[in-house]
Chains A and B, each alone.
Chain A
Amino acid sequence: MSYEYLKFGKEEKDFIAKIEEISGQNIYSCYQCGKCSAGCVFSDKMDITVNQLIHLIQLGQKEKVLKANTQWVCSSCLTCSVRCPREIDVAALMEAVREYSLREDYEKVIISEISKEALDKLPNIALVSNFRKKTG
């Protein structure tokens, strides 16, 4: 069995505070029951599951959190939020992680790179919601 030593200093605490500020949630409410991941319809497409991501946030592991695809696979369907036994708005935590990246001059979707045909074809509801979630 191998162990990994984690640093838990100012940087980590600042990250947690920022996520809590954006989401308005108390990250330590989560007791890792895993109901969010069990009910998530996208769990099979995530490299780490929702409760694992929350655990990493609790530990302030910013790099690992931002590297995950979990928050970008989440489509805010809110199934986790309505089912959480601790009444955490889990989707708001995913949004907070997305926003954390987006507010630091990062764009998940670069609009200029989408082809004209795609823009013509796609309904406006898809474009508006996508850009609201994935561009800063």
Chain B
Amino acid sequence: MVQYSYFPGCNLKTNAKGFEETAIAVSKKLEAELVEMPSWNCCGTVHTLTSDNIMKRIAPIRVLSRSRKHVETLKESPNQVVTLCSMCNSTLKIVNNEVKKDQEILDKINYQLEEDEETYETDMEVKHFLEILRDIVGYEKISEKVVNPLEGLKISPYYGCMLLHPEEAKIDDEEMPDVLESLVESLGAELVMSPLFKFCCGSYHIVDQEDIVSSQVEKIVEAAKRRGANALVVACPLCAYNIDQQQKAMARNSVGKSPIPVFYFTQLMAIAMGEPVKINYFNDHFINPEPLLKELGLIGRKKAK
């Protein structure tokens, strides 16, 4: 059993609890256990694109430094910090890359970290859980653990921006990714390809320019539905929130539009691997996926027996 130092990030403790709990459950089953690092802080969610703002780079480095200490306490752990949220993944990777190339920035940040008796020596790698699943665990092993193939689910992968951009942080080819596709197929679900797989959902504009998000979400969902999808799979809590919540709002405004549920990839894995339904926290979803899963006989069968 390999253990990984796992950095949750802010949202996995609030409205994406289902993402975290299912991920931890399946990680144990796949013998690549995610162990939460102690005393973590927010990574900042978005990487600063400025060249001169060092302050905004301190938080991610602090995470890396603390994760480095955490690795020491784990079993067979490589020097890697694993994230589930794609925004954390991108922020941590970009800053890690920057300080590896620029000693001057690293020195300035370490000077700040000294106050807390911390230091970072650029000896960590940032990995997204999808990378661990693809490169270390392998899809074959995932298929072996499937006890409840997701037959009937027609899933369209939605990557969002931060899994594939920028060059330093991408987990797969930016124009033709296949990591979510292969995962969906290894779980026994039908794959539906949508051309809008990385069409930005509007991200943080949800706070002050909701109209932008709603127009983006409408296009993303329509493109997937037109090709026959009955669910979307995502890896980002903000994409999930935007697509889920906006669909609900749109369904309220115009009659006849049928919303489709949004899953985190780990939720699909948990269902396929026969984990208890309650760790999915489907109550937190705006579009509850349970009716669809029940209709397809993917959950609730055991009780009937």
Residue ranges of A at the interface with B (Cβ–Cβ < 8 Å): 21-24, 41-42, 45, 72-73, 75-79, 81-82, 89, 91-92, 94-96, 99, 108-109, 114, 118, 122-130, 132-134
In this complex, the member of B165, B167, B207 whose beta carbon has the largest number of chain A beta carbons within 10 angstroms is B207
Set of chain A residues within 8 Å of B14, measured between Cβ atoms: 123-124
Q: Is the CB of A22 within 8 A of B50?
A: yes
Once the chains bind, are B208 and A123 in contact (CB under 8 Å)?
no
| Cβ-closest chain B residue relative to A44 | B215
User: With contacts A78-B165, A89-B49, A123-B14 known, is A134 near B208, CB below 8 A?
Assistant: yes
Complex CA–CA separation, A123 to B19 (angstroms): 14
How far apart are the CA atoms of A129 and B42 in the complex, in Å?
11
A133:B15 contact, CB within 8 angstroms = no
Closest Cβ of chain A to B11, distance in Å, is 4
Give CA–CA (A21, B50) in the complex, Å: 9
Contacts of B259 in A (CB 8 A): none
Contact A126 B241 (CB under 8 A): yes
> What 14 additional pairs, Cβ within 8 angstroms, besides A92-B51, A130-B208?
A24-B52, A77-B161, A82-B164, A95-B50, A114-B207, A123-B14, A123-B16, A125-B85, A126-B203, A126-B206, A127-B207, A129-B203, A130-B206, A132-B45
Jot down 5 A-B pairs with beta carbons below 8 A, ordered by A: A73-B212, A82-B165, A123-B238, A124-B42, A128-B10
| A77→B200 contact, CB < 8 A | yes
Chain A residues with CB under 8 A of B208: 108-109, 114, 130, 134
Q: B161 to chain A: which residues have CB within 8 Å?
A: 75-79
- Known contacts being A77-B161, A79-B198, A122-B207, is A129 close to B46, with CB within 8 Å? yes
Max chain B Cβ within 10 angstroms of own Cβ: one of A21, A76, A78, A125: A125
Residues of A within 8 A of B205 (CB): 73, 75, 130
B174 close to chain A: CB less than 8 A: yes
B56 interface residue (CB < 8 Å to A): yes
**Chain A interface SS verdict (over half):** helix
A120 to B49, CA, bound (A): 29
Bound-state CA distance A91–B198 (Å) is 16
| Partner of B216 from A41, A78, A126 at Cβ < 8 Å | A41
- Say yes or no: A132 contacts B15, CB within 8 Å: no
A69 to B44, CA, bound (A): 24
B44, A128: Cβ atoms closer than 8 Å: yes
CB distance from B35 to the nearest CB of A (A): 22
| Min CB–CB distance B198 → chain A (angstroms) | 7
A130–B11 CB distance below 8 A? no
Q: Which of B52, B165, B204 contacts A129 (CB 8 A)?
A: B204
Interface 0/1 of B27-49, CB less than 8 Å to A: 00000000000000010111011
**Contact A123 B203, beta carbon cutoff 8 Å:** no
Please list the 7 inter-chain residue pairs (A to B) with the smallest Cβ-Cβ separation, ordered nearest first: A24-B51, A77-B161, A78-B165, A95-B49, A77-B200, A129-B204, A130-B204
B206 touching A122, Cβ below 8 Å: yes
Please name all residues of chain B whose beta carbon is closer than 8 Å to the beta carbon of A23 when the two chains form the complex.
49-51
| Cα A89 to Cα B174 with chains together (Å) | 16
